[in-house]
Amino acid sequence: MLERSVGLDSTYAPAWAALGERYYIDSSYAGGGEAMKKRSDAAHERALALDPNFIVAGARLIRNRVERGELAKAYQEAEDLVRRRPDNAEAHFTLGYVLRYAGMLQDSANQCDTALSLDPANFRWRSCAFGFLQGGDYQRAMDYLRLDLGSEYYKAFSLDILVRAGKERETLQMGQPNIANSSARYALLLACAGHRSLPLIAGLARSLHIDDDPEENYFSAADLAYCGQTEAALQMLRRAIEGNYCSYPAIDSDPLFANIRGKPEFGEVRSAAINCQKKFLAERGQSAQ
């Protein structure tokens, strides 16, 4: 229907932005992958060409850049959005999104809290929960997840919080969420929380795939580490960092990585995470000059 809409009137920017978001959802949650992500880019770029001040289209294009690993460019654009529209919740949320991928968890939290204060009922701020989760503030993480209470998204990421809080029984009671691109990860997480057989866990671990979004790879790595799949966890964590999900200092405190922190290879991965953040900070400093 959205494609029909832009076919009827190709000059209406909100229709292009809505279509871009629809493509993104297909990409992230329904198996559409990078092909749909590129369609999302193109639709948002068309919306911005029609209306350069369309904050939502600009913000969502920045989000796509972040998930593709274009962290420095995304930061410059997000900072510009906030500078131009400090009263806009979407702009602050987007800057917080960039900072979360850079590992700047407190700065990200500050931007999320600003977005929430400006627009306290918007369910889209739910992913701010990830930064609080990585910082160990599970109550604040749940506060953000409750913006989307009752959804499969809420159910899914509640599992990530519960297992980190050591609440395995509650994790099992929550059950398998219905999110297509994350079904393998949560099947593994629930099997490990339920202390299922090692062959079953190993089989589920092999079913995990590298995701286009490096944040998904971070959480897959954490699940693999929790499940005792050390080599696979380190490999997945490397992929997250290579995708510019800096993961530092989260990997120093995330309880799911406790099983692999003593491994020599973890030190190498940790150094890569630190360098990822240093690179981001250096590029951010250059953009400010």
207 occurs within a structural domain: yes
Among residues 206, 221, 179, 176, which one has the least CA distance to residue 194? Answer: 176
The boundaries of the domain holding residue 264 are 168-289
Distance CA 21, CA 125 (A): 15
**φ, ψ (nearest 5 deg) of residue 175:** 80, 180
Position 146 scores a pLDDT of 96
Give me the number of domains the chain comprises: 1
pLDDT in tens, 177-199: 987 778 899 999 999 999 999 99
Q: What is the pLDDT of residue 263?
A: 94
Domain assignment present for residue 273? The answer is yes
CA atoms of 276 and 257, how far apart (whole Å): 19
Spatial neighbors of 205 by CB under 8 A, at least 6 apart, are 188, 224, 227, 229, 232
pTM of the shown model: 0.93
Q: Can you list the alpha helix ranges (DSSP code H) found in the chain?
A: 2-8, 13-29, 33-50, 55-67, 71-84, 89-101, 105-118, 129-134, 138-145, 152-164, 168-174, 183-193, 198-206, 214-226, 230-242, 250-253, 264-288
SS in 3 state form for 60-100? HHHHHHHHCCCHHHHHHHHHHHHHHCCCCHHHHHHHHHHHH
Per-residue confidence (pLDDT) for residue 287, from 0 to 100: 65
Phi and psi at residue 179, in whole multiples of 5°? -130, 115
Is residue 190 included in any domain, yes or no?
Answer: yes
Residue 242 included in any domain: yes
Residue 289's pLDDT is 55
In this structure, is residue 28 part of a structural domain?
A: no
CB 239 within 8 A of CB 210: yes
Residues of the chain with pLDDT under 50: none
* Cβ–Cβ < 8 Å for 171, 144: no
In a domain, 19, yes or no: no
Q: Tell whether 75 is covered by a domain.
A: no
Answer yes or no: is 237 within a domain.
Answer: yes
